[in-house]
Amino acid sequence: MKVFVINPGSTSTKIALFEDETPVFSTNVTHDAAELKKFKEIPDQLPFRMQTIRAALTEAGVSLEGIDAFAARCGGLVALDGGIYAANEKLLEHARTCFAVRHPNTLGPQIAQELQKEYGGEIFCVNPPDVDELDDVERITGFHEFFRQSKGHPLNQKENCIRYAASQGKKYEDMNLICCHIGGGVTVAAHRKGRYCCVNDAVNGDGPMAPTRAGWLPATDLVHMCFSGKYTEKELYDRIVKNGGLTDHLGTSDAREIVARINDGDKYAKLVYDAFIYQIAKAVGGCAAALKGQVDAIILTGGISHDKYLVEHLTEYISWIAPISVQAGEFEMEALAAGAIRALKGEEEVKQYTGIPVFENFDYLKS
């Protein structure tokens, strides 16, 4: 089966052609940043991105004739259950309008639709960023107006869990797993029998700090900072989600550089990086509690899981909970292709996107 995978980013689009689950072509198509800035809205970028993608395929001599399916990364959707979604009109409409969020990944199914017009094939979106399978008790915060959200790495998280389960001769839906995605963002999630039931909100300032994100912060101290008059709203927002964490402390988001500094005797770098590892360990412990101690394995994934220092020290904290499997790196392209293949083979139900969120609030429980 031939599957073409599309994963748009801020200034590039990753594309790959798979035959069954084997990639036969893969590249990261770069789009000129200055040109992208000329477009007022993200959907306006579509013709320009299509031109550069088609040029890259032509240059590589890659034909999409006989394609069976397109698998597209897609954001901008309402909160939904995990799974494989057909790119129906409602999904395409929400992608075109950036209904839930303005992000380049909303272009994924639109690019697929343009290519489908020429080559045929089906379009699938696999475990979009908007997957929300949180337990209700996980949503509650200390303010009745605020709810914890599921904002993490469901595509890579679920793919790693599926792969681990297969390595044990089992199904993802039959296991309780904790998965730690440790990369530019950090998410630690509990997967109960195939549901992504507990995960920190890596986008809005929750969970362990990350290379560029602040993670947990003392709320009252943050309130004082907000009203100090020293910062604009954007400056504080950027510090929380773009310039916080390791970058705020050490001036770099590169774990390799930090470990080199530790090896050279930098005591503050060691303290901060050890705290980073400690916070991930605490989040793993929280997920173990959410699973009531019934944990089959802990999976470490993401780019920083290549770091032996992190794996060794994190293992010291959490190995008593369950066996640890290191599956370093990211498998987003493989996950998209594998999902489309499961759909084509009828191994997994293809869901229809309704545009109705799986969660809004708990008003229906209030008398």
**Are 17 and 106 in the same domain?**
yes
**Are 303 and 285 in the same domain?**
yes
**Are 189 and 322 in the same domain?**
yes
pLDDT tens by residue, the chain, 367 residues: 999 999 999 889 999 999 998 999 999 999 888 888 899 999 999 999 999 999 999 999 999 999 999 999 998 899 999 999 999 999 999 999 999 888 899 999 999 999 999 999 999 999 999 999 999 999 999 999 999 999 889 999 999 999 999 999 999 999 999 999 999 999 999 999 999 999 999 888 899 999 999 999 999 999 999 999 999 999 999 999 999 999 999 999 999 999 999 999 999 999 999 999 999 999 999 999 999 999 999 999 999 999 999 999 999 999 999 999 999 998 999 999 999 999 999 999 999 999 999 999 999 998 7
HEC secondary structure over 228-239: CCCCCHHHHHHH
**Are 43 and 112 in the same domain?**
yes
CA distances from 249 to 116, 143, 221, 236, 253 (A): 47, 30, 17, 15, 10
Cβ proximity of 197 and 173 under 8 Å:
no
Cβ proximity of 106 and 122 under 8 Å:
no
**Are 352 and 236 in the same domain?**
no
**Are 121 and 211 in the same domain?**
no
The CATH number of the domain holding residue 100 is 3.30.420.40
How many domains does the structure of the chain reveal? 2
Closest by CA position to 157, among listed 126, 131, 181 = 181
Closest by CA position to 326, among listed 160, 102, 149 = 160
Instruction: Give the C-alpha separation, 351 to 338, whole Å.
Output: 16
**Are 97 and 244 in the same domain?**
no
**Are 202 and 53 in the same domain?**
no
**Are 183 and 241 in the same domain?**
yes
Name the residue range of residue 224's domain: 169-330
- 80: which strand partners? 131
Q: Can you list the alpha helix ranges (DSSP code H) found in 14-153?
A: 33-36, 46-60, 89-96, 108-119, 136-139
**Are 118 and 59 in the same domain?**
yes
